[in-house]
Amino acid sequence: MAQETTRRFFLGAATAAAATRVWGANDRVNVVIVGLGGRGTNHLHIYAKLPEANVVGLCDVDQAARERAQAWLTANTSEKAKEYVDMRDAFADANVEAVSIATPNHWHALAAIWAMKAGKDVYGEKPACYNIYEGQRMIQVARETKRMVQIGSQHRSTPFKMRAMAAVQGGLIGQVYLAKGLCYKRRASIGHADDSPVPPGVNWDLFLGPAPMRPFNRLRFKYNWHWFWDTGNGDIGNQGVHEIGLCRWAMGDPGMPKTAYAQGGKYAYHDDQETPNTLLASYDYGGREVVFEVRGLLTGAEGEPVKRRVAPPAAGAMAPPNTPAPTSITPKNAAPINVMVGNLIYGTEGWAAMSDQGFLAFKGETNELVMEERPEHGPGGDATGLHMQNFLAAVRSRNYHDLHDELGNAYLSASLCHLANISYRTGRKLTIEDGPHFAGDAEAEKLMTRDYRKPYVV
């Protein structure tokens, strides 16, 4: 009973208390990290090095994960954090001021909503939500509680991508009519595994949370939860949401499309994965579109080095002495960008390619190189630290407009992933009305939400 009383408290009075905090210039934000798998470990390593943050809590349903995180924190900072199995106990802790969520997708919304109602600001991993309904509820609660919510789309804080997108929106390649996102990320077959007893130290009930209760299976646990509909959204909602967000960014961050259609399948493999490993989605915005492709099998890249033809002399004209024969050349100073995971952006006056290798923009019939941007710290440089610093700055300013990928925008990027999955699962094109709703399509409407397992109800 005492524990339930505490949990009722964190959903109410704690919000008002947290809202009264006045931040000093040198105050550190007390952060608890929820979910200590691969991405959560990355969160821990970054927050521990940020002068604006203080890691005071480690939360995971797996005892082994907590112990690994604690050992690392102690060895690298000489400090020890409080440990939690149930995130609700962390949210009830008055010492916790912000929450960094790196759980599986099916927990993103409920964890954020509970945290916000407890008066905590939230940094949440992508996608913003597991389904469209959850994103709407998250926005509602964020506005009601006045909490800061940053979604982990760190490309929005990547300096070279910020410069590139500012130029694209400023008309660098004319009006953008097509933004294409690619997720050609090689994924091996996950194989097959029989159900088995829950490993010692794992709270399987808490791991499943809003999802249906099922027997423990190792393929539904660490990382591979991405490939099951109960807990994940496939690679379009894993890696792909980053590139879909960049597509929207290139187009000025529009709202919902008019229509969405996706087709594909799980090809080549005969294993336990449920989500498609090949998917092609298109979104109509009226006179312009977004196209997105997932391909987890063997494939080549797109956006290969652009070649320019040296024009031959006009008919009857004499070539200047020592003129080389017509040939293809790589644009000066433009190292190639081979897009396997990234974006191709097409405008009325040119086109551009972007990946973690950099950004190249070309203009006109001759593909003249008009802009080149490269990451400051080499290919693959991770801007998560910058993105978290932007979040912590907004915690102090109390202005959600300061956030680089605030929930209201990140929800729309996540929604494109969900629209594609709904279209794929229903096998038809979706016509999207305000709400959003799908006209006369009860099956698609149902897939905007889920049947929640009590008490884990959004």
CATH of the domain at 97: 3.40.50.720
Whether 317 has a pLDDT exceeding 50, the answer reads no
Residue 309 lies in a domain: no
In the sheet with 149-151, reading across from the earlier edge strand, the strands are 82-84, 53-59, 29-34, 98-101, 121-124, 149-151
**Rounded mean pLDDT, 133-147:** 97
The answer to whether residue 136 sits within a structural domain is yes
Evaluate if residue 398 carries a pLDDT over 60. Answer: yes
Report yes or no on 430 lying in a domain: no
Model pLDDT, residue 219: 97
pLDDT at 33 (0 to 100): 98
Residue 93, in any domain of the structure = yes
Closest C-alpha among 124, 118, 121, 117 to residue 34:
124
Q: pLDDT band at residue 296, thresholds of 50, 70 and 90?
A: very high
Task: Give the chain's domain count.
Answer: 1
Q: Which residues, other chains included, contact 304 with Cβ-Cβ below 8 Å and sequence gap of 6+? A: 336, 338
CA dihedral 16, 3, 148, 399 (to 10 degrees): 10
Rounded to whole angstroms, what are the CA distances from 184 to 134, 139, 209, 297, 302? 28, 31, 31, 8, 10
- Indicate yes or no: pTM above 0.85: yes
The residue whose two tokens read 């960049």 is: 246
pLDDT at 311 over 60: no
- The residues pairing with 224 across neighbouring beta strands, listed in sequence order, are none
Distances (CA, A) of 303 to 254, 336, 338: 25, 8, 5
Residue 35 lies in a domain: yes
Here the tokens at position 431 are 């016509």
pLDDT band at 435 (very low <50, low <70, confident <90, very high): confident
**CA angle, 330 then 162 then 414, to 5°:** 105
- 413: burial class by Cβ within 10 Å (0-12, 13-18, 19+)? buried
Q: Is the predicted pLDDT of residue 65 greater than 70, yes or no?
A: yes
State the pLDDT at residue 303.
74
Domain region containing 36: 2-156+382-406+435-446
Domain-located, residue 90: yes
pLDDT for 376 = 82
Check whether 301 has a pLDDT greater than 70: yes
Rounded CA separation 292/233 (Å): 15
Angle, helices 240-250 vs 159-169, to 10°: value is: 40
Cα separation, 69 vs 39, in Å, equals 12
266 belongs to a structural domain: no
Confidence of residue 146 (pLDDT cuts 50, 70, 90): very high
Q: Is residue 268 one of the residues assigned to a domain?
A: no
